Amino acid sequence: MEKEYEETGKIPLIGTQFPKMVVNTSQGMKKLPMDYKGKWVVLFSHPADFTPVCTTEFVSFQKHYDQFKKLNVELIGLSMDQVFSHIKWIDWIKEQLDVEIKFPIIADHGEVARKLGMLHYKATNTVRAVFIIDPKGTIRAILYYPSELGRNMKEILRMIKGLKFAEEHNVAIPANWPENELIEDKVIIPPAGDVETAKDRLAHAKAGEYECFDWWFCYKKE
């Protein structure tokens, strides 16, 4: 299945391994995902260097860089520009906006973009894609944005926090967490898969361990 998606250029599936590749970046050659083993990775593509929306995104990614690092996350950019273009753009951002881009940017000839389904339908540049990859090299989330809409860094950070929390505590994360309209900052107990588990959930609720709207919708303060 994973090989089929890699060969046909379709978007990889969530839950599959990120395809192995060697890429040229503004910080030298990188082996993906091997060089980032044990780290979460946010790999994001942008249409082109020296464009206004992309510039705002790169500044925003860098402004949130320390927050990503605290979550054990590495950032990697990508576009179908050459390394010298990336370097000049990084220099321009430093000189004109006083922001130093500290993460690498992949210089892609189209090979990486095709493997990941990142190409715009006209195949002239890459879309605004985001791949969230866990420390084992598994793709955990994928986001795609149109060229006219810049990304929301706070949402990407929220997704990583939610994925990590769900995995560590065996729970599910509600909409807009931790400010959900129904259960606020509480988290959801995975749905019961059989009658006995459903009864057990309600028993836990009566004991005050969970709160439940019904047997299939129980939640708790973690």
CATH code 3.30.1020.10 region(s) in the chain: 170-222
Residues 6+ apart with CB under 8 A from 44: 57, 61, 75, 76, 77, 78, 128, 129, 130, 131, 151
121 versus 27: the higher-pLDDT residue is 27
pLDDT at 5 over 60: no
pLDDT at 105 over 90: yes
CATH code 3.40.30.10 region(s) in the chain: 2-151
> In the CATH scheme, what is the homologous superfamily, with its name and number, of domain 2-151?
Glutaredoxin (3.40.30.10)
To the question of whether residue 201 is assigned a binding role by annotation, the answer is no
β-bridge pairing 211-214 and 217-220:
antiparallel
pLDDT at 1 over 70: no
What's the pTM value of the predicted model, to 2 decimals?
Answer: 0.91
pLDDT at 123 over 70: no
Mean pLDDT of all residues in 38-42: 98
pLDDT band at 198 (very low <50, low <70, confident <90, very high): confident
pLDDT at residue 204, rounded to an integer: 82
pLDDT band at 73 (very low <50, low <70, confident <90, very high): very high
pLDDT at residue 7, rounded to an integer: 47
Residue-averaged pLDDT of the chain: 92
Q: What is the CATH number that goes with domain 170-222? A: 3.30.1020.10
pLDDT at 203 over 70: yes
Mean pLDDT of all residues in 53-77: 98
| DSSP SS3 for 7 | helix
Q: Per-residue pLDDT tens for 139-171?
A: 999 999 988 999 999 999 999 999 999 999 999
pLDDT at residue 77, rounded to an integer: 98
pLDDT band at 6 (very low <50, low <70, confident <90, very high): very low
pLDDT at residue 116, rounded to an integer: 92
Q: Give the active site residues.
A: 54
Give the strands of the sheet with 73-79, arranged side by side: 28-32, 21-25, 105-107, 73-79, 40-45, 128-133, 139-145
